[in-house]
Structure 1
Amino acid sequence: DAVKSTLTKEGVSMSNILGFASDNCSTMMGNKNGFQNLLRNDIPTVFTIDCVCHSFALCSSHAVKVLPSYLESFLKDLTSYFSRSSKRQNGLNMIQSIVGTKENKIPKLSQNRGS
Structure 2
Amino acid sequence: MTRRGRRQKAPWSAPPVDSDDGSEATHIPLPIQLEWLLTKTDNLEDLVRFLAEELSVNPFKEYLDTCTCSADATYLSAGSVDQLLTCISNKLEIDILETARNQSCIAILADETCDEGNLEQFAIFGKFPYHGSTEHFLGIVNFENITAKGLMDTISEFLLAKGIDIEKVMCVAFDGCNTMSGSVKGVQRLFRHQSVYSIYVNCRNHKLALCFKHVMKGYSILQETDACLFSFAKLFEYSAQKDNVLRNIQEVKGENVLEPIKPLVTRWLTHKDS
| TM-score band w.r.t. shorter chain | 0.5 to 0.7
Aligned residue in 1 for 2:161: 9
C-alpha separation in 2, matches of 1:72 and 1:64: 6
Percent of paired sites with the same residue: 25
Q: CA deviation at 1:9?
A: 2.7
The TM-score normalised by the length of structure 1 is 0.53
Aligned residue in 1 for 2:271: 114
**2:160 matches 1:20:** no
Aligned residue in 2 for 1:57: 209
Aligned residue in 2 for 1:90: none
What code does the residue aligned with 2:178 have? S
- In the alignment, structure 2 segments of 5+ residues that lack a partner are 1-151, 226-260
**2:200 aligns to what SS in structure 1?**
strand
Residues 26-67 of structure 1: per-residue CA shift (max 9 Å, x gap): 12111222111100122232121111111001112223345x
**2:199 matches 1:47:** yes
Higher RCO, Cα 8 Å, sep 6+? 1
Does structure 1 conserve the Cα–Cα contact (< 8 Å) formed by 2:168 and 2:195?
A: no
Does structure 1 conserve the Cα–Cα contact (< 8 Å) formed by 2:172 and 2:199?
A: yes
Q: Larger % of helix: which?
A: 1
What code does the residue aligned with 1:15 have? E
C-alpha separation in 2, matches of 1:53 and 1:28: 15
Q: CA deviation at 1:4?
A: 2.4
> Cα RMSD over matched residues?
3.3
- In the alignment, structure 1 segments of 5+ residues that lack a partner are 77-107
The TM-score normalised by the length of structure 2 is 0.25
